[in-house]
Structure 1
């Protein structure tokens, strides 16, 4: 199941092993197959990669402009390295789709979006235990925050703006 801010989302990406990306409009390949997929890519084809969450930014930074989607793998919901990698990718200038892929839990959805992810891809077992309605409800439960993230201001910025705005009177 693929979820974004609006609920269940269609997934136009086709998983490939890397060698067979030729006629796939939007091919998603594992990190190990990326060099081969880049070499075999057709003009205008969109390419995505599934990254392990322990990959360093330096290993991928040079090819960020070549990618339309980066799916960061989460081997377990308790392994939060993917959240850090998402922040690093956004700070490095990646503007494509950023997907968290793995057994995340509802409580991590708002934080995943806050770190820069656009969507979360859940294994079938997790999707069965926590339906889309629970994920959407979790988004509504998180209020203003102090940290700066993606997709909105924070409490401190709101207070600063209020102080700088002249009072109507």
Structure 2
């Protein structure tokens, strides 16, 4: 599956495993239900990542976060945005490893995914063929301001800018 980061396409240094048997793979992504077994087998120098469903509670994943180098959040459909909320929760919980969105996202969601804390987006091949890289990069740069607080830089928040403009225009005490 093609992999994108904020600069465009990139090579994927991670290998997917169908279970907990990770062998000698230096960087492996295991399914959520195999995570505990994979971590028990983890050797020195091996990076472990996990693919989680977007319905997983952060409290279930929190005990494992210090030992994970990557968390991939599955998006079953582009219209299911629970993964964005989960990404924000993971970043607020202090997860500093790679955060990956995995599934059929669309270019219009790229800027928001980056603002929510995702580092990479892993697309199904069919989606990548329909939506060329140039479309993703244009979409990334199409939003200069947001309505949400805490996404990106503070000076990009529309509501805070409007509030400051009203305060500056309001007559002061005389």
In the superposition, the TM-score normalised over structure 2's length comes to 0.87
Matched-pair contact (CA < 8 Å) for 2:20–2:35:
no
- Alignment pair present for 1:114 and 2:115: yes
State the distance in 1 between where 2:20 and 2:60 align: 21
Gaps of 5+ in 2: 169-174
SS at match of 1:100: strand
Q: Which residue of 1 aligns with 2:171?
A: none
Matched-pair contact (CA < 8 Å) for 1:116–1:149:
no
State the distance in 1 between where 2:140 and 2:67 align: 31
Runs of 4+ in 1 over 3 A off after TM superposition: none
- Calculate the aligned-residue CA RMSD, in Å: 1.8
State the distance in 1 between where 2:93 and 2:153 align: 19
SS at match of 1:120: strand
Q: Which residue of 1 aligns with 2:105?
A: 104
In the superposition, the TM-score normalised over structure 1's length comes to 0.89
Q: Which residue of 2 aligns with 1:166?
A: none
Q: Which residue of 2 aligns with 1:84?
A: 85
Per-residue CA shift, 1:108-153, capped at 9, x if unaligned? 1111111111111000010010011100000111112242334423
Q: Which residue of 2 aligns with 1:24?
A: 25
Q: How many residues align?
A: 161
Matched-pair contact (CA < 8 Å) for 1:22–1:41:
no
SS at match of 1:143: coil
State the distance in 1 between where 2:128 and 2:71 align: 21
Per-residue CA shift, 1:26-81, capped at 9, x if unaligned? 01001011111011111121100000000001101111011000000000011111
SS at match of 1:60: helix
Q: What are the equivalent positions in structure 2 for 1:1-169 lying under 5 Å apart?
A: 1-153=2-154, 154-155=156-157, 156=160
Gaps of 5+ in 1: 164-169
State the distance in 2 between where 1:10 and 1:142 align: 26
